[in-house]
Amino acid sequence: MKVTIVYDNEALEGFKSGWGFSCYIESNVKILFDTGWDGNVLLHNLKKIDVERFDYIMLSHQHWDHIGGLNHVIDKAEYVVIPSSFSQNLKREITRKAKIVEVKDATKIADGFYTTGDLNGEQSAILESKRGLIVITGCAHPGLDRIVEKAKEFGKIYAIIGGFHDFSEIEKISKYKLIPCHCTSKKQEILKLKNSKFCAAGSVFQF
C-alpha cells in the first residue's frame, strides 16, 4: 500500500503547496482523500505523480480547505464518499457529477477500505496494509483519540497520517507511526518522536 501527499501547507521540490490537505492512496482500490483548497494546485501535484483517475474520492469534512478542489477532480472518480452531515445543497451539487456514498456509521466501503463513520461531522479513512491498519484523518476535529478508538474496531493500527488538530496527549498515540500534516498544532513536538515522519506535498509513504 502506498500513500502520496498531494496537497499540504508545505511542498517538496517540484510540487506546489497550499492551505489544506489531500492524499492519493494506492491499495486494493485507488482513493483521493480530500481535495485541498486550490484545485489548480491539486491538479499540478496529481500530474507530477501521473494520476488520472481514482475509484473513490473521500471527503473528510465540509471545510473549504478539504473540499475546495473537488470541482477540479470530481470527473475523475465514479464515487464520492461523504459524511451524512454534509449539507443538502452540497450533496445535491455532488450528485450532479458523481454517485454519492453517504456515510453515517463505521463501515466497509470496499475490500481493505473502511470509514470511521460520521463523527461529529467528520470521517476518517482506514486502510489495510501488510503492517496493520493505516488511519488517515482530515483535521481530526472529533479528537484523535476518539478516531483511533473507532478505527480499532477493524483491527490493529500501525500508522496515522493527516491532520491531528490540537490533540496534545501525544503519549497516547506514541506507539504508532505518526505522520502529522496540515492542521496539526503540536506538529513540531510530534516530529521529535523517533517513529514520526515529516509530511509535505510530494511525500510518499509505503506500508
25-53: average pLDDT = 97
pLDDT digits 0-9 by tens, 147-159:
999 999 999 999 9
Q: How confident is the model at residue 200 (pLDDT cuts 50, 70, 90)?
A: very high
For domain 2-206, which architecture applies?
Answer: 4-Layer Sandwich (3.60)
**Which of 52, 66, 56 lies closest to 109, judged by CA?**
56
Per-residue confidence (pLDDT) for residue 190, from 0 to 100: 95
What's this model's pTM, rounded to 2 decimal places? Answer: 0.97
139-144: average pLDDT = 96
Q: How many angstroms separate the CA atoms of 76 and 51, rounded?
A: 10
Per-residue confidence (pLDDT) for residue 28, from 0 to 100: 93
**Which of 161, 137, 169, 162 lies closest to 150, judged by CA?**
137
φ, ψ dihedrals at 74, nearest 5°: -60, -25
The two beta strands, 125-129 and 56-58, are unpaired
**C-alpha cell of residue 41:** 494546485
pLDDT digits 0-9 by tens, 154-188:
999 999 999 999 999 999 999 999 999 999 999 99
